[in-house]
A and B are shown apart, each in its own frame.
Chain A
Amino acid sequence: MNLTLRIWRQSGPEDKGRMVTYQVDDVSPDMSFLEMLDVLNERLILAGEEPVAFDHDCREGICGMCGMMINGVAHGPQRGTTTCQLHMRQFSDGDTIDIEPWRAQAFPVIKDLVVNRSAFDKIIAAGGYITAPTGSAPEAHSVPVAKANADAAFEAAACIGCGACVAACPNGSGMLFTAAKVTQLSLLPQGQPERYTRVIGMVEAHDEAGFGGCTNAGECTVACPKGIPLNTIGRLNRDYLKATTKQADNTPGS
């Protein structure tokens, strides 16, 4: 099939950037979206034009490196699918496809479709872990975990940190990402000791990074390739409320 692409080109962080139109012909429906861009890039290079920069690595939908707005939808039209796993059979001959980078204050554009998502790492560094230095662990079977909790924790842990939730959110909020980690760890017995300091640290880091506030709009969970459920945010809110009221009375152990 033949396609018209309008792609955001921006040579560097300082450049203003613009949409540029390209024609790509003979696209096979079996190609992945990124393979289609590879074909375009090969052609651009031979024509002496700089190829379109985009992030990707595993191309298996698990590393979370890829991601772009495709016709205004994060990761494109197929639900539960990362950009790298999107295949061209989702499009038809003659389509025009707009391709833009994630847009958020906290995710500044580096070049073309490549953005800086290190704000996510900062949120994790601010509490998204269980303190368990190597060597200090008890025997794995000493603490059983109810299967239902283990499964729900797993569901939240499936987040790949791609940032589609932020890109899709009308408020540019990173709450789904933050809530996914809070939920995973607060469902496990191992996560209890740090439960309340964790949520405060992570929410503060989230706000500091310049993400917007959550208004429960629900766009994030629709865009999320891993289907992280919106109720994780409820769990975060609950922990956060408890944490802030606990913090207020300042009694250790309360």
Chain B
Amino acid sequence: MDLYIEGDPIADTKAPDGPIETRWERRRFEAKLVNPANRRKMTVIVVGTGLAGGSAAATLAEQGYKVKSYCYQDSPRRAHSIAAQGGINAAKNYRNDGDSVHRLFYDTVKGGDFRSRESNVHRLAEVSVNIIDQCVAQGVPFAREYGGLLDTRSFGGAQVQRTFYARGQTGQQLLLGAYQALERQVGLGNVEMNARHEMLELIVVDGRARGIVVRDLVTGEITTEFADAVVLASGGYGNVFYLSTNAKGCNVTATWRAHRKGAYFANPCFTQIHPTCIPVSGDHQSKLTLMSESLRNDGRVWVPKAKGDDRAPRDIPEDERDYYLERIYPSFGNLVPRDIASRAAKAVCDQGRGVGPGGLGVYLDFADAISRLGRKAIEAKYGNLFEMYERITGEDPYEVPMRIYPAVHYTMGGLWVDYDLQSTIPGLFVIGEANFSDHGANRLGASALMQGLADGYFVLPNTIANYLAAGPFEKLDASHPAAVEARRDVEDRIQRLLAVNGDRTVDSFHRELGQIMWDHCGMERSEAGLRKAIDEIRALRDQFWQRVRVLGDGDGLNQSLEKAGRVADFFELAELMCIDALHREESCGGHFRAEHQTEDGEAQRDDENFSYVAAWEFTGTGKPSVLHKEDLKFEYVHPTQRSYK
């Protein structure tokens, strides 16, 4: 049987043409509006309370819509956006270093290795400046200079200092700003907040997304919830690899369930591997910890020149060290984009020059920076990161170089959306990391926070009106056949998971799935590896449904049951990721196919044949997915071979 079928091309019909600087303004002008009196009559469901979902829910409520908000954590403030450390980009040009909206646009398209839409990226760069204004007004304590103005720093892949930050806790501070705006609306009665609720199914009525099925994680109660539109802001799916820098609860369930109901899934194989994470310490490892990329501003990456050199790092003399990033990429040095830094680390470890347990690590050394700037200055910049490193590894990075290794970090793929951020199901909008929109095949550092807030504060609240202008839609209740069916599906699945009562834990399956994905669909992919992975995933998925053991029942808090449902969806996603990676016979951004590299080992893009977004349609369990291609046109930034040398 074929792995997939090629279907009709797909196009984004909402993006206006004309000069790129005017498109967003024109779209806003041409879109229909909803008058304030009507907004009160309409409800929007927002799944997720991260930067994207939190900002969207607060803004929609401010505009006058009734909002129902959901998250699986015990409080909306804990969404995974909280963990972002490094910063957020904005084209403010406060540094007078040549930055501009156009340059941010250019950098992002180029950084995405020419696999994103120009219109979307330009809009992102335009609203980036409003984000900073908005956050400052909310009281987000960004780092400041002595004069009281905002400080910025440079971040991987950029030659201008456009990254705003709040020590190593930028995501936390931005999220708390959005959370507080959200809680204000909760207090005013405009948002109904449902924490510890998990979305398990989408309800589609007459071709429109009209509601969701949720499980109250505390009582186990399953309910159907209705609205005039549904917004998914459920984050990324990096946890398909089991070990990643994502929070333990991050999952694909919300978007995958929507995919099964008709929303196309775009570029699932585009995943980002972050170069600076703390290496694995043993089999017990449950997640990986990111060390902010900002460390590369002052740390130098190296490995010993000789294979298997197991001397202590301080005993290896300067001329026996290989500062390989500085050597291979003299103009960007240690600041090359993530995909390049990650692959370079893998390459040196594959040559047997890795350091630490299992040879899976490289040094990130601060000795030079400490002697140049003094320990105090380094402490002020990175103190909390150094402490975190020491807590986890028991080693003091002021004395011994850090050991780092790449880890899965971000997923550029996600549900396909048009310029309005609407998926292929009318009334289903997807924002933040959950959609595929702005980062192409590789995301630049500090751009995810920007995208989440751009979508939530500024884009969706404008574009959703165009859809809701046709509302309010027919009132629905739990007895509607589509709701009854969706709910029954959810209950059946839960019963099935509980009924297996096999001999393996959910985590043991998840771990094994993650290993398959890391080995074959990770930093380097090959046809043989991907085919093997697809077979292994299918076999393991069958085993899962025969052998998994989930104790207890569905009538209360049951964390194994929650995990089991998520892992079941990861199995299906994993297969699609491998198929997507297999079909894309080129290397681009985070997707590196061993068969497609230049002579000196750099990624080789194939713009002739692959300059498109791969949007996958679900056609039924066990049936091949259908591929719809959306052609990408580049009018402003002309594809070139990315070079950071």
**Interface range, A side:** 35 or more
Q: Is the CB of B391 within 8 A of A87?
A: yes
* Residues in A neighbouring B133, C-beta threshold 8 A: 137-140
* Residues in A neighbouring B141, C-beta threshold 8 A: 150, 153-154, 157, 184, 188
Nearest chain A CB to B465's CB is how many angstroms away? 14
23 A-B contacts (beta carbon < 8 Å): A32-B392, A35-B284, A50-B552, A53-B559, A63-B247, A81-B391, A111-B557, A117-B74, A118-B74, A120-B75, A121-B77, A125-B183, A125-B184, A129-B180, A132-B137, A134-B457, A141-B94, A144-B147, A154-B167, A161-B77, A188-B139, A190-B139, A191-B139
Q: Which of B394-440 contact A (CB under 8 A)?
A: 394
Q: Is the CB of B78 within 8 A of A53?
A: no
* Residues in B neighbouring A124, C-beta threshold 8 A: 77, 179-180, 183
**B interface list, Cβ under 8 A from A:** 55, 58-59, 62, 73-78, 80, 82-83, 92, 94, 130, 132-139, 141-150, 166-167, 169, 172-173, 176, 179-181, 183-184, 186-187, 193, 195, 218, 247-249, 281-282, 284-287, 289-290, 387-388, 391-394, 457-458, 461, 503, 505, 507-508, 549, 551-552, 556-557, 559-560
Q: Is the CB of B169 within 8 A of A62?
A: yes
Q: Which of A130-147 contact B (CB under 8 A)?
A: 130-141, 143-147
CA distance A46 to B507 in the complex (A): 12
Q: Is the CB of B82 within 8 A of A58?
A: yes
* Residues in B neighbouring A55, C-beta threshold 8 A: 74
Nearest chain A CB to B295's CB is how many angstroms away? 15
Q: Is the CB of A140 within 8 A of B286?
A: no
Check A204 for interface membership: any CB of B closer than 8 A.
no
Question: Which of B137, B146, B387 is the one whose CB lies under 8 Å from A190?
Answer: B137
Q: Is the CB of A89 within 8 A of B180?
A: no
Nearest chain A CB to B450's CB is how many angstroms away? 14
Residue of A nearest to B134 (CB): A137
Question: Which of A136, A137, A153, A185 has the most chain B CB atoms inside 10 A of its CB?
Answer: A137
Q: Is the CB of A28 within 8 A of B284?
A: yes
* Residues in B neighbouring A147, C-beta threshold 8 A: 144-146, 148
Nearest chain A CB to B181's CB is how many angstroms away? 6
CA distance A39 to B507 in the complex (A): 10
* Residues in B neighbouring A129, C-beta threshold 8 A: 138-139, 180-181, 183-184
Q: Is the CB of A130 within 8 A of B138?
A: yes
Q: Is the CB of A62 within 8 A of B144?
A: no
Check A172 for interface membership: any CB of B closer than 8 A.
no
* Residues in B neighbouring A116, C-beta threshold 8 A: 74, 218
CA distance A217 to B150 in the complex (A): 37
* Residues in B neighbouring A46, C-beta threshold 8 A: 503, 505, 549
Residue of B nearest to A61 (CB): B388
Given A38-B507, A129-B181, A134-B58, residue A85 in contact with residue B138 (CB < 8 A)? no
Check A31 for interface membership: any CB of B closer than 8 A.
yes
* Residues in A neighbouring B77, C-beta threshold 8 A: 64, 121, 124, 161
Residue of B nearest to A162 (CB): B78
Question: Which of B146, B247, B249 has the most chain A CB atoms inside 10 A of its CB?
Answer: B247
CA distance A62 to B287 in the complex (A): 14
Nearest chain A CB to B462's CB is how many angstroms away? 10
Q: Is the CB of B195 within 8 A of A118?
A: yes
Nearest chain A CB to B99's CB is how many angstroms away? 15
CA distance A58 to B144 in the complex (A): 28
* Residues in B neighbouring A85, C-beta threshold 8 A: 388, 391-392
Sorted nearest first, the 10 A-B pairs with minimum C-beta distance are A144-B148, A129-B180, A125-B187, A137-B137, A132-B137, A154-B141, A137-B133, A125-B183, A30-B281, A140-B136
Besides A128-B180, A135-B134, 16 new A-B residue pairs in contact (Cβ under 8 A), listed by A number: A46-B503, A51-B559, A51-B560, A58-B80, A59-B287, A63-B82, A89-B394, A125-B184, A125-B186, A131-B184, A135-B130, A141-B149, A147-B146, A150-B142, A188-B139, A190-B137
